[in-house]
Amino acid sequence: MNFKLSITETGVATLLFDFENEKINKLDGDTLLELKGHLDELAKNSSVKLLVFESAKQGIFIAGADINEIKDIRSVDEAYQKAGFGQKILQQIALLPFPSLAVINGACVGGGCELALACSYRIISDDKKAVIGLPEVSLGIIPGFGGCVRLPKLIGLQAALQLILTAKLIPAKKALRLKLVDAIYNQSLSRDFIDNFIKQLINDTAFKKAILKKRKKSVSQKLLEDNALGRKLIFNKASQNLISKTKGHYPAPLKALQVIEAIADMNAEDALEAELKGFSEVAITDISKNLIQLFFTNEALKKETGVSDKNTLAVTINKASVLGAGVMGGGIAWLFSKNDKQVRLKDIEWEAVAKGYQTANQYYQQMQKFRKIKPNQIRYKMNHIAGCVNYNGFKQVDIVVEAVVENIKVKKSVLAEVENQLPDHAILASNTSSLSITEMASDLKRPENMIGMHFFNPVNRMPLVEIIPGKKTSQQTIATTVKLAKQLGKTPIVVGNCAGFLINRILIPMLNEAALILQEGGNVLHIDEAIEQFGLPMGPFVLADEVGIDIGFHVATILEDAYGERMKVAGIFNHIFNEEKLLGKKSGAGFYKHQKKSAIRYNKNIDAILTFYRGDKHISTTAFNHEQIVDRCILVMVNEAVRCLQEGIINNPAYLDMAMLMGTGFPAFRGGLLKYADNQGLQNICDKLTQLSKQYGERFKPAELLVEKANKQQLFYEGESK
Ligand SMILES: NC(=O)c1ccc[n+]([C@@H]2O[C@H](COP(=O)([O-])OP(=O)(O)OC[C@H]3O[C@@H](n4cnc5c(N)ncnc54)[C@H](O)[C@@H]3O)[C@@H](O)[C@H]2O)c1
């Protein structure tokens, strides 16, 4: 039994939701059935004056419908039945002969929010965990328990679209401002407030009237939303925004918009029916399955400690230091300070330290621009960073993050020097993009304390941190670094120690392949367009310019040294870096020209360089169509990803996919590289790779694990068949 029903003498029925053997409350099929039983009984009970929904879970009201059940939906009909059942029961709440109240003590999400919307009144706790919203579109579905119908009615069309289409969860104050809830209560005085609110709902008609009055639309809202023309404007604008944001890759928000527009003038019954149909259409798509899989991966990663032994103790890091105040060092120092950790930022000269401060300050300015921080808080946070050019204070730090130049000799010498300045327990973490952690630790006195902690640029936006243990890294060092990365708000993923680790090892071959296509007759704009249309946030040449051609070339060379022929750096990279000295965005030109305040333009000087490569074999710029470009660029990544799995650089395909999403912006709607391969069919991928290897060389030869899986008709994601 997940609900406990109690009825007071004054006619207040309370359904206390306490999902058995779970930390959260969720609305699965059985629970909905149980709820229906209670509602049927209550509806017949003439002594009931009010139904109150409360939760027995701390910090959670209802986390939503059961996502596992949604994941398993295979047909439109099944989707219709399942969502229809939930929708009907929530409608039963709305049609009860007495009013109802949702007491939202914590997260009130998706189906949970829809239940609250079906109630007559809603109050919410001021606890930080009490957030509310309809994030369904982030799972590739739309609200199907009445949310598309009730939310616009309650808070107005524009606010409802904003909530549903962005999938955002909002805190209590905003919920009150939007009139999504009727009151906020102080969590520490909750019982008194709730009891008093209930008493007034039962006894005080003026109190109820006042609530309903507060919910009334503003004049400007009425003017725009209560006429067909105004609504048309709102829908057109929302649709344009969505298309430019999603590039049409995500059908769910578009479907939600379509449904909300269609039901604007319908009666409740027809509107709910239209919502159900919309839900059923999107719930069965591959895109929804991919997004749900990513949701589960994310949840699994939150629980990861990085080590298999549960008894390994992760130490709490209080004080940190960063070596090297460059682009990355400044960003990492910012991250520590933002999370209220004291950090010393050391470089070899004060000028460099000042640049590090500048980087940190820039990140804070960006936060201020988006109203995520106030100026006085910035001053407070910046005070957590202590710049220095010596090792004073290093005896107190728990971790050093090394972010000096990418050169093994420099790194080894810096690490040996700093190790002598640290307490014995301190961790030495390197932010290297590609160099061996084992090699870096080889001359250290305490190699067990050495680990790779690879942040991505820009540190404020990239959620991934690759955690790379060396051969002698201790379990405690791994667990502590994983815990620290989480405290810093990042997603740590543990990967093996190989050249380029996971992300660069998979991504750089894609950039290289794009450059080879270019040399063979492709066109910069055309190649970038093909990859962007596939769904990556930017094409390979825009990306190369952003990262810096010097950095990209340097890492690519390290990969060529490590992996040989299959990662041989395309000549054009060498040419434009070493001979033309083009660095990309930071030097104003690379494959594109970058001028402040104007859009980037193709750098026509590249044409002259290309003539050198193509010579009299010059091929027309349409020599490669999008499909060919995508096949070469994406499959070369798939193949390398499989090699990483094969070699145990990472063992979990879902973690690999999430790492690519967070480290490269690989499109979520595709579910990840290996999910993409699964969805395309592994035999199909193998055949294409074999064909490409005949045309372009051994680098495309399908990885052994890929061939094995294709032969056995297996998938990377077990338990699924295609
Ligand atoms: N830039 C990126 O996109 C990126 C992304 C991820 C990782 N990384 C890695 O991060 C590290 C730093 O990269 P960056 O781009 O910030 O470099 P950068 O050139 O911007 O900064 C390096 C800083 O290290 C300082 N330095 C050199 N020797 C030092 C020493 N002995 N003690 C203290 N400081 C010293 C330099 O003065 C300079 O300020 C490299 O290992 C790089 O591979 C870079």
Residue 720 has pLDDT above 80, yes or no: no
Among 672, 665, 649, residue whose Cα is nearest residue 452: 649
Mean pLDDT score of the chain, rounded to an integer? 95
**Banded pLDDT at 50 (limits 50, 70, 90):** very high
| C-alpha to C-alpha distance for 713 and 200, rounded to whole angstroms | 64
Helix (H) or strand (E) holding 668: none
Q: For this structure, is 454 an active site residue? A: yes
Nearest CA to ligand 1 atom 9: 432
* The ligand 1 atom nearest the CA atom of 327: 16
Q: How far is the CA of 555 from the centre of ligand 1 (A)?
A: 14
CB 671 within 8 A of CB 293: yes
Of the CA atoms within 13 Å of residue 610, those in its CB half-sphere come to 21
Nearest CA to ligand 1 atom 31: 414
- pLDDT tens-digit readout, 214-263: 999 999 888 899 999 999 999 999 999 999 999 999 999 999 999 999 99
CB 179 within 8 A of CB 215: yes
Residue 102 main-chain phi, psi, to 5 deg: -100, 125
321, 433, 546, 559, best to mutate for ligand 1 pocket (most atoms within 8 Å of CB): 433
Over residues 148-158, mean pLDDT: 97
Q: How far is the CA of 402 from the centre of ligand 1 (A)?
A: 8
321, 322, 323, 327, best to mutate for ligand 1 pocket (most atoms within 8 Å of CB): 327
**Banded pLDDT at 722 (limits 50, 70, 90):** very low
Model pLDDT, residue 721: 43
Tokens standing for 10? 């004054």
Q: How far is the CA of 352 from the centre of ligand 1 (A)?
A: 11
Nearest CA to ligand 1 atom 35: 324
Tokens standing for 439? 């090699």
**Banded pLDDT at 612 (limits 50, 70, 90):** confident
Residue 645 has pLDDT above 80, yes or no: yes
| C-alpha to C-alpha distance for 404 and 430, rounded to whole angstroms | 9
**Banded pLDDT at 617 (limits 50, 70, 90):** low
- pLDDT tens-digit readout, 320-358: 999 999 999 999 999 999 999 999 999 999 999 999 999
Model pLDDT, residue 618: 53
- pLDDT tens-digit readout, 261-286: 999 989 999 999 999 999 999 999 99
DSSP letters spanning 551-618: HHHHHHHHHHHHHGGGGPPPHHHHIIIIIS---BGGGTBSSEE--TTS--EE-THHHHHHHHHHGGG-
- Percent of the chain surpassing pLDDT 90: 94
- For the chain, the straight-line distance linking the first and the last C-alpha, in angstroms and rounded, comes to 37
CB 79 within 8 A of CB 97: no
Helices 147-155/157-166 angle, 10° precision: 140
Quickly list H helices, 284-436: 286-303, 327-338, 350-369, 375-382, 408-419
Q: How far is the CA of 337 from the centre of ligand 1 (A)?
A: 19
**Banded pLDDT at 718 (limits 50, 70, 90):** confident
Helix (H) or strand (E) holding 626: helix 626-646
Q: Which long-range contacts (CB under 8 A, 24 or more apart) does 44-50 make?
A: 45/7, 45/13, 47/7, 47/11, 48/7, 48/11, 48/12, 48/13, 48/98, 49/10, 49/11, 49/12, 49/98, 49/202, 50/11, 50/12, 50/13, 50/98, 50/99, 50/100, 50/101, 50/198, 50/201, 50/202
Over residues 72-76, mean pLDDT: 95
Nearest CA to ligand 1 atom 38: 326
Quickly list H helices, 204-227: 205-214, 219-225
- pLDDT tens-digit readout, 472-488: 999 999 999 999 999 99
Q: Identify any residues that bridge with 183 across adjacent strands, giving them in sequence order.
A: 123
Kindly name the residue from 38, 249, 425, 454 that is annotated as catalytic: 454
Q: How far is the CA of 550 from the centre of ligand 1 (A)?
A: 13
How many beta carbons lie within 10 A of that of residue 533, not counting itself?
A: 15
Model pLDDT, residue 145: 98
Q: Are strands 427-430 and 399-402 parallel, antiparallel or unpaired?
A: parallel
- pLDDT tens-digit readout, 424-474: 999 999 999 989 999 999 999 999 999 999 999 999 999 999 999 999 999
Provide the 8-state DSSP code for 397: -
404, 454, 456, 501, best to mutate for ligand 1 pocket (most atoms within 8 Å of CB): 404
Residues with Cβ within 6 A of ligand 1? 323-329, 346-348, 352, 403-406, 410, 414, 431-433, 456-457, 547, 551
Q: How far is the CA of 373 from the centre of ligand 1 (A)?
A: 27
- Percent of the chain surpassing pLDDT 70: 98
Q: Which residues contact 586 (CB under 8 A, 6 or more apart)?
A: 548
- 170 torsion bin: left (phi>0), alpha (psi -120 to 50), beta (else): beta
- pLDDT tens-digit readout, 160-177: 999 999 999 999 999 999
**Banded pLDDT at 588 (limits 50, 70, 90):** very high
Residue 79 main-chain phi, psi, to 5 deg: -60, -45
| C-alpha to C-alpha distance for 29 and 84, rounded to whole angstroms | 11
* The ligand 1 atom nearest the CA atom of 455: 6
